[in-house]
Structure 1
Amino acid sequence: MLTEQDYKDGQVILIDKPLEWSSFQVVNKIRWHIRKKFNLKKIKVGHAGTLDPLATGLLVLCTGKFTKKLQDFQGQIKEYTGTITLGATTPSYDLETEINQTYPTEHITAEIVKKTTEQFLGDIDQYPPVFSALKKDGKRLYEYAREGEAVEIKSRKITISEFEITRIELPEVDFRVVCSKGTYIRSLANDFGKALHSGGYLSALRRTKIGDFSTEKALTIEEFEALLTPEISNP
């Protein structure tokens, strides 16, 4: 059983983020459980890399002195699995916004889908989504987007080392991607649709790995609470 001092000295906590929770909400919940357990006024808790509310999977949290390591974890290679829905686009490149345009998919075959992944392997230039938390002139891009204000977005260099297609049932395509820090899978879905001379948006996303950490070792929020306070789960 970890002590109050253990959490202050620093712990790495792997959480499997549930759907529709923000990364910030998860951090707040875990911090609240630790504070409640040890009757603390405050304890540092942070996460190494945001997951969108519509994504599930691995969040690496650090407590106490280990929050200084967050930058190191953020820079590590990440693995994602998910689904791209072809034949349509959305302004946010995912299900946060409604479909704004549809495209033909009759010309798309399994062979073409698998061949097209090759265009995205290696070092590539990628434009972040307009609906993202990146800042421009002190304001987040999604704030500009929601106000209908056009803003110039610069591309960034990213690296995709693996892009595997795991299921094709058009219009849905399942994938597994291994990529560098700063990669937007939503942008990849949008760009993949364009490369197929159609449209595409991200309809499901799960982060499975960050460096050597994986969801196999991650706890749900409920499991963490039970671990922290076994007297509650086993009266």
Structure 2
Amino acid sequence: MNGIFAIDKPGGITSNQFMMKLQHALTSSQIFSKEIQRATAERMREYQQQTGKKASKRKLRKVSKVKMGHGGTLDPLASGVLVIGIGSGTKKLANYLSGTVKEYEAEALFGVSTTSGDVEGEILSRNSVAHLNTEDIKSVEEKFKGCLKQTPPIFAALKMNGKPLYEYAREGKPLPRAIEPRQVTIYDLKLFPDTLSKNHKYPILRPESGEVKDDIKLLNSGLLDDTLYFSKEYCESRGMESEVAQIERPLPITEQETGQIEKFGNEYRAPLLHFTAKVSSGTYIRSLISDIGKAVRSSSYMVKLTRSQQQDWSLNRRNVFKLEDFIQRDEKVWSKVLELVLEKGAEIDVVDELAKAEKEFASEKQKTEKINQVNDDHNESNLSTETLAVETHPNEANTKKRTIDEIE
């Protein structure tokens, strides 16, 4: 089997770790075993001809498992659509690594900024949320929709002087220079009605020592001072000469707010930011969340992220597999649907096709069980008839036994 399909990656695991789990499940199946055996035998012959030696397990490692790759990394914290290429389909993954439109659903909390832009980072600042109102929050939909400049977060795979940014961050080393903003496109941005609600499950991050950790000095990245940009379209519609947002600095957290947080502890709930965004490749949702916080003179960090769509693969269109489909279902079920998806692409409703295949498999299994039961009953009937014949005609049976003995 060769081609492209999509799978729903859960949160809490890296894209590569998740892909290895999927790869193990497919490699262990009987569906791919013949292809793997053929590829292994062919590689063994080639190596023998080229070197005159027998290929070791290490030399056969690449061909002894399903060839696989993915079309765009998801943050470990994030869940959702991960495009997978298998076999020759891996050559098509380049089409998904740049130039594709992606859609995300994100949840964040106002009032805190972190080094990573999400719940797993260290606190950089604590800001007021008392002034936030629906009108100001709603305005960000227009301010960030279109082409705009965005500064990537320091916990990113982008390289500076040949070294990924996140390695500087994890080592606590200063960056050689400030992170350059990049051009991205926000095709659509819509806030959910529950934005600013405090009726949610997420406790606010609190400093462990009671003091805000000043990691910004260690990282020397200017995370709090990154320039904020609005979209080109918004600025032009307002006759603004520059895309640099003229926003005053975020308001510091008040003593009253600090007192409320200390009083309620983990029961305290900060205002929620909840939105969907359709964006270009290279857009960082964590940076978008941080920028939205700055735009309303506060701060914000991500607590949940789901990639709901990448190109034509969408959770809403139900053309995305789950890992459980390959682990918990019989191979005869998922292989039939996978083959269909690899042939026809994103037009296949995976959920419906799996349900049909499961029903057909159950029906075939039931028929097989009935046939086996009939055969068992028939065999038992024949055995009973033979036993009865022996008991009814013992002399005839003894005669047959003597005849056999004489022949032998």
Per the TM superposition, whether the score is higher than 0.5 is: yes
Which residue in the other structure is 2:182 paired with? 156
SS of the aligned residue for 1:217 comes to coil
Moved more, 214-223 or 124-133: 214-223
Runs of 4+ in 1 over 6 A off after TM superposition: 231-235
Which residue in the other structure is 2:322 paired with? 220
1:222 is displaced (CA, Å) by: 1.1
Q: Distance in 2 between matches of 1:11 and 1:159?
A: 29
Bigger Rg, structure 1 or 2: 2
SS of the aligned residue for 1:173 comes to strand
Residues 57-206 of structure 1 mapped to structure 2, 5 A cutoff: 57-74=80-97, 75-151=99-175, 152-166=178-192, 167-168=194-195, 169-170=197-198, 171-206=271-306
1:13 is displaced (CA, Å) by: 2.3
Q: Distance in 1 between matches of 2:330 and 2:147?
A: 43
Amino acid at match of 2:10: P
How many residue pairs get matched? 227
Percent identity among equivalent residues? Answer: 38
Aligned match of 2:331 in 226, 229, 232? 229
Which residue in the other structure is 2:17 paired with? 25
Task: State whether structure 2 residue 116 is matched by structure 1 residue 14.
Answer: no
* TM score, norm. by length of structure 2: 0.53
Root-mean-square deviation (Å): 1.9
The C-alpha deviation readout for 1:140-187, integer Å capped at 9, x for no partner, is 100001122222211110000101001211511110000000000000
| More strand by percentage | 1
| Larger RCO (CA under 8 A, 6+ residues apart) | 1
SS of the aligned residue for 1:177 comes to strand
SS of the aligned residue for 2:93 comes to helix
1:231 is displaced (CA, Å) by: 8.5
- Say whether the 8 Å CA contact 2:126–2:299 is kept in structure 1: yes
Q: Distance in 1 between matches of 2:278 and 2:25?
A: 33
Amino acid at match of 1:48: G
Aligned match of 1:209 in 296, 303, 309? 309
Q: Distance in 2 between matches of 1:188 and 1:180?
A: 12
Q: In structure 2, do the counterparts of structure 1 residues 120 and 201 end up closer, same or farther at CA, with 3 Å as the change threshold?
A: same
* TM score, norm. by length of structure 1: 0.90
